[in-house]
């Protein structure tokens, strides 16, 4: 692909003049995707790059149609786009299943930050490959977010949810086993739904997750309980009666199920259980598992290894205590009670 070069303005007396190609907005993405493929990024990540960048291009063509080259994008354009996403973008606009009344204005801070991260990754790659002179996102920061203390399920909510799936029905039993496995092992939903019989050792009660199956590409072994082992054996036996595949989590037609499909099932069971004010996704179950492990006495480094986090700081975001946990811990370990007790003993 022939690209028109432009010269970078050099100070008087400078000898070296670096040339930068005049990339269109679409060409810039093509270069980034090619580079990221060579680096080994997963196909899902590359798809997300294209999708989030597509949202940015759609906005540019509507509000800044004169911008056609990647070099024309500056920090002002980026900040304008962030402001639009936060305050003016209509959520679910044009969605065929969501009425206009349910389409609120302004994306969540989490969504905005996800798209900022994508833009940062794209422009940083262009800068590293010396395809742009100035990186417009180098000084852009993520939005500050309040810590969400509602992203874990309580014991009562879990009991109510587990009572919802019809365990005499294939789909209901599959959902029940999946929920129990997530609460027992802390597996990511993609890791769980990709499991095959050969990944499970029922003698040692360990699941082996290959690097290919993991988010961070690092293989790990995940323990599971005897109760969950029995449920998994029952699910395997049920699958063998109807299907020939060695996958564990299947649809009623024997097809692999996606994370989106399973999350819809979790939402369905959560609504039936009367759980309100919480997102019913597999990620919430992972948060719940991490929090429960801490409350039950597991040390942070063990949790980090089982959960597959490369950085313990990432794990900390998963472990959030509600007010009852804080009160219980304070009453048990507050030093003042010790001082008062010693004074009474005297």
What value does the mean pLDDT take over residues 153-165? 94
Residues 198 and 253 in one domain: yes
Most confidently modeled range among 8-12, 197-201, 275-279, 293-297:
197-201
Residues 267 and 121 in one domain: no
- β-pairing verdict for 206-209 and 19-21: unpaired
Residues 112 and 230 in one domain: no
pLDDT tens-place string over residues 204-225: 999 998 866 666 667 888 999 9
pLDDT at residue 267 in the model: 94
Q: Which residue has the tokens 């190609």?
A: 21
Over its C-alpha atoms, the chain yields an Rg (Å, rounded) of 25
Of 332 and 283, the structure prediction assigns the larger pLDDT to: 283
Residues 270 and 175 in one domain: yes
Q: Which positions ≥6 away from 319 have C-beta within 8 Å? A: 290, 291, 294, 300, 303
What value does the mean pLDDT take over residues 151-171? 92
Three-state DSSP at 5 gives: strand
pTM of the predicted model as reported, rounded to 2 decimal places: 0.70
* Domain assignment of residue 331, yes or no: no
What value does the mean pLDDT take over residues 124-141? 94
Residue 61 CA, chain-centre distance (Å), reads: 29
Task: Name the average pLDDT for the chain.
Answer: 84
C-alpha span between 35 and 22 (Å, rounded):
18
* Domain assignment of residue 290, yes or no: yes
Residues 184 and 318 in one domain: yes
Domain that holds residue 94: 20-128
* Domain assignment of residue 186, yes or no: yes
Specify the CATH number for the domain of residue 294. 1.10.443.10
What value does the mean pLDDT take over residues 320-326? 57
Task: Band the pLDDT of 303: cuts 50, 70, 90.
Answer: confident
Residues 173 and 305 in one domain: yes
* Domain assignment of residue 339, yes or no: no
Least confident of 50-64, 222-236, 306-320: 306-320
Specify the CATH number for the domain of residue 74. 1.10.150.130
Residues 207 and 303 in one domain: yes
Distances (CA, A) of 102 to 95, 109, 168, 213, 244: 10, 18, 36, 36, 43
| Percent of the chain residues past pLDDT 90, beyond the cut | 57
Q: Is the distance from CB of 161 to CB of 153 less than 8 angstroms?
A: yes
CA angle 45, 46, 52 (to 5 degrees): 85
* Domain assignment of residue 299, yes or no: yes
Query: What's the number of domains the chain is made of?
Result: 2
Nearest Cα residue to 201 out of 180, 221, 186: 221
Task: Band the pLDDT of 344: cuts 50, 70, 90.
Answer: very low
Task: Band the pLDDT of 116: cuts 50, 70, 90.
Answer: very high
* Domain assignment of residue 51, yes or no: yes
pLDDT at residue 304 in the model: 84
Residues 225 and 318 in one domain: yes
């Amino acid at each position: 692909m022939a690209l028109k070069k432009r010269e970078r303005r050099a100070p008087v007396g400078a000898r070296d003049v670096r040339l930068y190609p005049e990339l269109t907005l679409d060409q810039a993405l093509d270069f980034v995707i090619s580079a990221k493929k060579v680096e080994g990024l997963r196909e899902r990540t590359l798809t997300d790059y294209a999708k989030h960048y597509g949202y940015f291009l759609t906005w540019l063509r509507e509000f800044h149609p004169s911008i056609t080259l990647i070099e024309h994008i500056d920090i002002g354009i980026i900040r304008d786009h962030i402001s639009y996403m936060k305050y003016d973008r209509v959520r679910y606009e044009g969605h065929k299943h969501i009425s206009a009344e349910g389409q609120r204005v302004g994306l969540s801070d989490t969504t905005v930050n996800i798209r900022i991260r994508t833009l940062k990754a794209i422009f940083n790659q262009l800068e590293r490959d010396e395809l742009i002179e100035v990186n417009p996102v180098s000084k852009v920061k993520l939005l500050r977010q309040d810590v969400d203390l509602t992203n874990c399920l309580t014991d009562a909510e879990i009991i109510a949810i587990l009572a919802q799936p019809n365990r005499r029905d294939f789909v209901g039993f599959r959902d029940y086993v999946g929920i129990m496995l997530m609460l027992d092992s802390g597996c990511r939903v993609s890791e769980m739904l990709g499991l095959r019989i050969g990944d499970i050792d029922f003698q040692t009660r360990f699941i082996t997750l290959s690097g290919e199956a993991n988010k961070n590409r690092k293989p790990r072994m995940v323990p599971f309980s005897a109760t969950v082992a029995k449920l998994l054996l029952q699910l395997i036996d049920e699958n063998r009666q109807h299907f020939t595949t060695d996958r564990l989590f299947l649809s009623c037609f024997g097809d692999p199920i996606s994370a989106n499909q399973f999350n819809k099932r979790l939402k369905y069971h959560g609504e039936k259980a009367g759980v309100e004010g919480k997102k019913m996704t597999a990620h919430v179950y992972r948060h719940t598992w991490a929090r429960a492990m801490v409350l039950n006495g597991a040390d942070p480094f063990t949790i980090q290894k089982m959960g597959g986090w490369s950085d313990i700081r990432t794990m900390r975001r998963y472990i959030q205590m509600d007010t009852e946990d804080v009160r219980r811990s304070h009453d048990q370990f507050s030093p003042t009670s010790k001082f008062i007790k010693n004074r009474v003993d005297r």
